[in-house]
Amino acid sequence: MNNLLTISGSPHVHTDESIKKIMFSVVYAMVPAMLVSVYFFGLDAVRVIGISVIACVLVEYLIQKYLIKGDVTINDGSAIVTGVLLAFNVPANLPTWIIVVGAIISIGVAKMAFGGIGKNPFNPALVGRVFLLISFPAQMTSWPLPKPLFAQTVTDTITGATPLGLLKEGQMAGKTIEQIMADPNMPDYIQRMIGFQTGSLGEMSALALFLGALFMFFRKVITWQIPISYLLSSFIFAGIFWMIDPTHYADPFFHLITGGLMLGIFYMATDMVSSPMTPKGQIVFGIGCGLLTMIIRLWGAYPEGVSFAILIMNAFAPLINKVFKPTKFGL
Amino acid sequence: MDNVIVYAVISLSAIGVTSAIVLYFVAQKFKVIEDPRIDVVEGTLPGANCGGCGFAGCRAFAEGIVKAGKLDDFNCPVGGNSTMAAIAKALGLEAEEKDPMIAVLRCNGNCDYAPKKLNYDGPATCAFAHNLYSGESGCPYGCLGLGDCVVSCKFDALYIDEKTGLPVVDEDKCVACGACVKACPRGIFELRLKGKKSRRIFVSCINQEKGAVAKKNCEVACIGCSKCFKVCAFDAITMENNLAYIDDEKCKLCRKCAPECPTNAIHELNFPPRKPKAEETAEVPKEPVTADSKA
Amino acid sequence: MVLSTFKIGGVHPPENKFSSGAAIQPLPIPGRVFVPITQHLGAPAKVMVNRGDEVKTGQLLAKSSGFISANIHSPATGKVFRIEEAIDQSGYKRMAVIIDTTEDVWAEGIDTSPDIIREISMSREEIIQRINDMGIVGLGGATFPTHVKMMVPDGKHAEYLIINGVECEPYLTSDHRLMLENGEEMLIGTAILMKALGVKKAMVGIEANKPDAIGHITKLAAKFQGITVHALKVKYPQGGEKQLIKALTGKEVPSGKLPIETGCVVDNVGTAFAVYEAVQKNKPLIERVVTITGKAVKTPSNFRVRIGTPIQHLIEHAGGLPENLGKLIGGGPMMGKALVSPEAPIVKGSSGILLMPVEEARRTIVKNCIRCSRCVSVCPMGLEPYLLAQYSRLEMWENAEKERIMDCIECGSCHYICPSGRPLLDYIRLGKANVGKIIRTRGKI
C-alpha cells in the first residue's frame, strides 16, 4: 500500500449535497418563470436577465479576485441566483446601466461587504431592488405591457400600470373595489394567474412560480415553514379586511396572485442566509412578512409591500433565532 | 417669530443648566474613591493586557500590586526590568533585577527528521488534532504544526516556518508572557532564561518514550542515553523518563553536552560556530537545521 | 404498517451492507495478541500477570480496579511476551499485555461445547457477580461495564430491558449475523439480563432493513416470557439509546440524566449473547463478532475474533491489504475512529473494521456556513449544531454550555448533512471537552 492513511474525526461519509447543487436547483426552479417572461417580453427579458446575471457574477469575481484577493467562488452559483432574482424584480424596459448599478449594490454592498456568501444579513437581490426603486423611481415603475413573442403587431413599448398599481391609484382616488376591478386595464383572475398582466419580469405568472416552488420543495431546497406561514398570514389578513369592508379592500385571492407576493413567498423570503435557522422561528418570520406585506399594501404609500416586508423581517432574524429555539430532546 | 427663538433659547439653556447641576451632584455622590497610585502604576505599564503577569489586564495588575504593597510575587514580563523599576519608584520600594526570559520550542521534529506517516484532514487547530491522534509523524509528544501558539501570541512573535512546519520564536518580539505555553496542548513551549548575549542551551525534545521507540518516529529525538548527563560538570542535566532536561539556572553555557548527543537533540542558540578540530579525521556532528537558528 | 421511530432529526446515509450475507467464520488465532488493559469505560484494569508467565485461554489477565471497571481475560494460550505500551485504536500507545500464542488450552471450568443451555438456575445476585467476573461490558461500542448497569440505583425503578439489535451504522452487519446465527442464545441472555435487572418485560428493537432477523427473532421470542420484537424505521441514529427508548416507549431521557430515569436499561444484542456465554457456559468475554467491510476490501466478511488480534490479521483473511486503501476506520463510518495503523488490536468495543478507498477518504473543501439550517433539522437531540460549533470555535464555553452542548451524542448527522462541508462535529467535540473540564473543576471548588 503506497498511500498514507488519512486521519480525521468522524463522520467519514458525507452527503452529495453541496452549495452548488442547492443554488443550481434554485436556478432550474426559476426556469418556468424565465420562459414566461421571455414569452411576454421577448428580447427585453433576455437582455434584462442576461445582463443581471453577467453583471452579478462579474462583480463577485472582480471583488473576490482584486479587492479581497481571496478565493474566487463564483462557481457555487449563488451570484447567478441573485442575478436572476434581481432581474425578476425589475421591469423589462429598465435601461442596462441601471441593471448594472443594481448588480453592484446587490453583490458588492449587500453580499461582499458583509463577508461574502453566508454572511449577509439581508437578501441581496431585494437590497438591490429597493435601492433601484428609491434611486430611480420613474424607471422602476414604468411597466411595459407584455407583447407576446409571436405577436403579429410589434408596436412601441406601451407602458401601463400593474394591477396593484391600479388598485392603489384607485383607492387613493376614492374609487370602490368594484369600480377598480371594472377598469378595462385590469386583467381578470385567469389572466393574472397565467401571466397576462403587467409587472416586473418575475411577477407575471403565479402558476410558473408555483411549479418552480414545487420543484424546490421536492429537492429539499426549501422547507414548508416560511412559504406556508407567509402565504396563510397574508391571505388571512387580507381576507379579514376584505370581509369587513369589501368595497374598499380587495379580496385575498387578488392579493395572492398580483404583484411580487408569489415570488416573495417562494424565492425571496426563503433565502437561507437571511432567514431564521429554527423551524419555529421560520414560522414567526413568515407571519411577520405576511402581516407587513399586507399592511404596506393596504395602507402604505407604496402599492407593493413584499420587498420592504422581507427586508424588515431579515433585520429581525437574529433576534428570532435567539428567542425561538427548537425543542430540545429531554427537556 | 422672535418669540419662538427666545423661548427656544431659554428652554434649552434651562435644560442644559439643570442637567449640569444634576450630573455634578450625581458624580460627586457616586464617585469611586480609588487609590491614586493605581493610576500612576498603570501609567508605567505597557498596556498590552496580555495576561502574562497572571492578571486579567494591566489595570488589574496595578490594583493588585498597590493593594499588596510589595513587589515580591508580581512581575510584568512584557515591560521587564525597566517597568518593574518604575513601579518600584512610584510605590517607594526596591525592585529586584530579574533576568529576561524567552519562549523556547522544545521540538525539532520537522518534515525531514520526523517524516509524515499519515495525512491529517481536519480543522487546523492543535487542540483538536491532539485529542484525535498522536500526530502525522507518530510521535505523541511532538509539535503538530497547526499553529495554536501563533494564534495565541499577541506580540506577533511566532510564525510557522513553511519549510520545517514548526513554529519559530522571534527573539526581538517575544516578551515571555506565557500565552504560547498555555495554548500548546502538548506543553512543548517553555519559558527559559534568555541567557547572557541571548545564548541558551536546551534539549529540543520532550519525548518520554524509550529511545528505540522515539528514534523510530523522529531522527533527532532524545533517546535518554545519558551521555550529556555524564559530561555536565555543573549538575545542570537531569534524566527522567528517558528524557534529558537542562536546568537553565544551573547551566553555565560551557557547551560540553551538545556534541555528545548522538541524535543532535541538544540545541545551542546564538553561539559562534564551533571550530572544527584539526586532528580529528571523523566529522564533528554538524549543527542541525533548527527552527530557531539564524541560518 | 407504520414503523415506530424517533421524532426529531435523523439522516439516511447509504446502507452499503455488503457483508450481510456472509456467515460468521471463526478467525484463526494470530501468532501474537496485544490485549490493552483499558477496553472499557472507567478505571483501567490492574495487570495480574508478569512477563514470561504461561497463560491459558480465559485466564484472568487484569483485574477490575474500582466500581466502574472490568476484568480482562486472556484471549489465547501462550507466554506473556511483554507488558508495555502498544499502539491501539485511540491513535496513541496504551499499556497492553502482549502474548505469544500457542495451541488453545482453555482454563478450567469453561464449557466450550456447542450445546445450548436453556435453563437459568442462578439467582439475581449470582448472575450480576458472574457478569462482573467474566468482564462483560457493553459491546455496542460504549463498553460500559454491564454489571454496573444491572445495579439499579436507589430510588429508581427499572421497568423495561431494551435489547438493541438496530445496527443503524452503514456497512456493519455483526449484530445482524449474530441474531440470525445465535438468536436463541442471545434471547436466553436477554432472559438472564431480565432476571438480573428484575424486570418482566423486554423489547428487542431491530431496524426494518433486516427482515430475516426480525422474522427469526420474533419466532424464537415466542417461546420466551415477556420478550417482544419490534421493527423500527430505518433512520440513523436509531441505534442511539435515547432515540431507541423514544421509539419503543415514547419516553424521552431527561437532559443530563441516564436512561434509568425512564425505567429502561438498554443493552446490545452482542452483550446479551456474551451474558449467555458467561452465565450458562462460564466463559469470559474474550471474543466477539467483527465485520470487516468497505468499498476497498476484497471479501467483506464477518469473523468471530479473539480480543487482541491485530487488525492486519483480519485484513489478510478478507482478501489482503488493498492497494487503494485511503482510510482505515474502527467502527462504522458515522461514529467510528480513523486508525493510525493496521497494527492496532481488536478490543471489546470493536464492532467492525471499515476499509475506505482513497477516493472517499479525503473530505470536501470547507466553505462558509450558508445558514441553511439543515444541521438543525437533522440533529436527533434538538440542538443547533451551527451555533455550538461557532461557540466552540470562538471559545465561548459558557454560551456553549447554556445551549446544552453536553447533550450532544456525537452521532455526526450534522457534519454529514452540511452542504458547505463544515467540520461541525470536530468543533463540537472540542467544545464538549472544554466544557466538560469546566464542569468538573466547578464541581471540585
Q: Where are the domains of chain C?
A: 124-281, 374-444
Of the listed ranges A16-25, A96-105, A143-152, the least confidently predicted one is A143-152
What is the per-residue pLDDT across C325-338, written as a single tens digit (0 to 9) for each? 999 999 999 999 99
Quick check: A19 contacting C, CB < 8 Å? yes
Q: Is C102 helix (H, G, I), strand (E, B) or coil?
A: strand
Q: What is the pLDDT of residue B16?
A: 96
Q: Residue C427 is nearest to which of B123, B134, B138, comparing CB atoms?
A: B123
pLDDT confidence tier of residue C348, bands split at 50, 70 and 90: very high
Quick check: A12 contacting C, CB < 8 Å? yes
Quick check: A124 contacting C, CB < 8 Å? no
Q: Where are the alpha helices (DSSP H) in C35-182?
A: 124-133, 146-150, 174-181
Hey, are the CB atoms on B122 and C426 less than 8 Å from each other?
Answer: yes
Both A298 and A181 in one domain: the answer is yes
* Neighboring chain C residues of B120 at a CB cutoff of 8 Å: none
A331 part of a folded domain: no
A281 part of a folded domain: yes
Phi, psi dihedrals of residue C435, rounded to the nearest 5°:
-65, -40
Quick check: C359 contacting B, CB < 8 Å? no
Q: What is the pLDDT of residue A269?
A: 95
What is the per-residue pLDDT across C29-59, written as a single tens digit (0 to 9) for each? 999 999 999 999 999 999 999 999 999 999 9
Residue C393 has pLDDT above 60, yes or no: yes
Closest CA to B112 of B137, B129, B95: B137
Quick check: A69 contacting C, CB < 8 Å? no
A301 part of a folded domain: yes
Hey, are the CB atoms on B121 and C362 less than 8 Å from each other?
Answer: yes
Last residue of a domain, one of A109, A140, A171: A140
Q: Report whether C137 contacts C143 (CB < 8 A).
A: yes
Q: Name the CATH superfamily housing domain C124-281.
A: NADH-ubiquinone oxidoreductase 51kDa subunit (3.40.50.11540)
Quick check: C433 contacting A, CB < 8 Å? no
Q: Is B137 helix (H, G, I), strand (E, B) or coil?
A: coil
What is the per-residue pLDDT across B16-52, written as a single tens digit (0 to 9) for each? 999 999 999 999 998 888 888 888 888 888 887 877 7
* Neighboring chain C residues of A118 at a CB cutoff of 8 Å: 367-371, 420
Chains near A, with 3+ CB pairs < 8 A? B, C
Last residue of a domain, one of A88, A108, A140: A140
Quick check: C360 contacting B, CB < 8 Å? no
- Rounded CA-CA distance A97/A103 in Å is 10
Q: What is the pLDDT of residue B90?
A: 80
Q: What is the pLDDT of residue B184?
A: 95
E strand or H helix at C47:
strand C46-47
- Strand-pairing partners, residue C264, are C160
As a whole number, the mean pLDDT across chain A is 89
Both A166 and A291 in one domain: the answer is yes
Measure C135 CA to nearest chain B CA, in Å.
27
Characterize C33-50 residue by residue with b for buried, 16 or more Cβ atoms within 10 angstroms of its Cβ, and e for exposed.
bbbbbbbbbbebbebebe
* Amino acid, res. C67: F
pLDDT confidence tier of residue B283, bands split at 50, 70 and 90: very low
What is the per-residue pLDDT across C49-86, written as a single tens digit (0 to 9) for each? 999 999 999 999 999 999 999 999 999 999 999 999 99
What one-character DSSP code corresponds to residue A146?
Answer: P
User: How many alpha carbons fall within 13 Å on the CB side of residue C422?
Assistant: 25
Fold of the CATH domain B101-272: Alpha-Beta Plaits (3.30.70)
Q: What is the pLDDT of residue B286?
A: 47
For chain B, what's the residue count? 295
Mutation choice for B interface testing from C82, C84, C93 by most B CBs within 10 A = C93
Phi, psi dihedrals of residue A286, rounded to the nearest 5°:
-65, -45
A176 part of a folded domain: yes
Which residues, in sequence order, are CB contacts of B211 under 8 Å at separation 6+? Answer: B221, B223, B224, B225, B242
* Neighboring chain A residues of C236 at a CB cutoff of 8 Å: none
* Amino acid, res. C443: G
Residue of C nearest to A10 (CA): C335
* Neighboring chain A residues of B115 at a CB cutoff of 8 Å: none
- Rounded CA-CA distance C371/C392 in Å is 17
A42: left (phi over 0), alpha (psi -120 to 50) or beta: left
What is the per-residue pLDDT across C155-189, written as a single tens digit (0 to 9) for each? 999 999 999 999 999 999 999 999 999 999 999 99
Residue B57 has pLDDT above 50, yes or no: yes
Closest CA to A258 of A213, A168, A193: A193
Q: Report whether C216 contacts C222 (CB < 8 A).
A: no
Q: pTM (2 decimals)? A: 0.89
Closest CA to C288 of C30, C75, C38, C41: C75
What is the per-residue pLDDT across B168-204, written as a single tens digit (0 to 9) for each? 999 988 988 888 999 999 999 999 998 888 899 999 9
Chains near B, with 3+ CB pairs < 8 A? A, C
What is the per-residue pLDDT across B82-135, written as a single tens digit (0 to 9) for each? 888 888 888 888 777 778 889 999 999 998 999 999 999 999 999 999 999 998
* Amino acid, res. A260: G
Last residue of a domain, one of A91, A111, A140: A140
Instruction: Retrieve residue B123's grid coordinates.
Output: 480543522
Hey, are the CB atoms on A17 and C356 less than 8 Å from each other?
Answer: no
- What is the rounded average pLDDT of the residues B59-88? 81
Phi, psi dihedrals of residue A84, rounded to the nearest 5°:
-65, -40
Higher pLDDT among residues B75 and B246, named by residue: B246
C-beta neighbour count of A148 within 10 angstroms: 12
Closest CA to C174 of C217, C131, C139: C139
- Rounded CA-CA distance B67/B74 in Å is 12
Most distant pair of Cα atoms in chain A: their distance: 84
Both A214 and A106 in one domain: the answer is no
- Rounded CA-CA distance B183/B279 in Å is 48
Question: How many structural domains does chain A have?
Answer: 2
Measure A61 CA to nearest chain B CA, in Å.
27
Residue numbers of B between 116 and 155 with CB closer than 8 Å to C: 117-119, 121-123, 125, 127-128, 131-134, 138, 140
Residue A296 has pLDDT above 60, yes or no: yes
Quick check: C397 contacting B, CB < 8 Å? no
- Rounded CA-CA distance B46/A253 in Å is 69
Q: Where are the beta strands (DSSP E) in chain A?
A: 5-7, 143-144, 159-160
Instruction: Retrieve residue C445's grid coordinates.
Output: 471548588
Residue C259 has pLDDT above 60, yes or no: yes
- Strand-pairing partners, residue C78, are C55, C101
Q: Residue C91 is nearest to which of B127, B128, B134, comparing CB atoms?
A: B134
Hey, are the CB atoms on C356 and A5 less than 8 Å from each other?
Answer: no
Q: What is the pLDDT of residue A158?
A: 66
Both A259 and A306 in one domain: the answer is yes
Hey, are the CB atoms on B118 and A8 less than 8 Å from each other?
Answer: no
Instruction: Retrieve residue B159's grid coordinates.
Output: 510564525
- Strand-pairing partners, residue C98, are C34, C82
What are the sequence ranges of the domains in chain B?
36-91, 101-272
Q: What is the pLDDT of residue B154?
A: 86
Q: For A49-61, give the DSSP string.
A: HHHHHHHHHHHHH
Residue of C nearest to A220 (CA): C374
Closest CA to A180 of A195, A200, A165: A165
Hey, are the CB atoms on C92 and B140 less than 8 Å from each other?
Answer: yes
- What is the rounded average pLDDT of the residues A155-182? 77
Measure B123 CA to nearest chain A CA, in Å.
9
Measure A5 CA to nearest chain B CA, in Å.
5
Assign domain B36-91 to its CATH architecture: Orthogonal Bundle (1.10)
Hey, are the CB atoms on C368 and A18 less than 8 Å from each other?
Answer: no
A2 part of a folded domain: no
What is the per-residue pLDDT across C428-441, written as a single tens digit (0 to 9) for each? 999 999 999 999 99
Higher pLDDT among residues B63 and A187, named by residue: B63
Measure A64 CA to nearest chain B CA, in Å.
23
Closest CA to C35 of C14, C16, C57, C20: C57
Residue of A nearest to B137 (CA): A4
Q: Report whether C271 contacts C146 (CB < 8 A).
A: yes
Residue numbers of B between 201 and 240 with CB closer than 8 Å to C: 209
What ipTM was reported for this prediction?
A: 0.91
A152 part of a folded domain: no
Q: Where are the beta strands (DSSP E) in C343-400?
A: 352-357
User: How many alpha carbons fall within 13 Å on the CB side of residue B4?
Assistant: 1
Higher pLDDT among residues C359 and A193, named by residue: C359
Q: What is the pLDDT of residue A248?
A: 84
Most distant pair of Cα atoms in chain C: their distance: 63
Instruction: Retrieve residue B16's grid coordinates.
Output: 442644559
Which domain, by its residues, includes A261? 157-323
pLDDT confidence tier of residue A153, bands split at 50, 70 and 90: very low
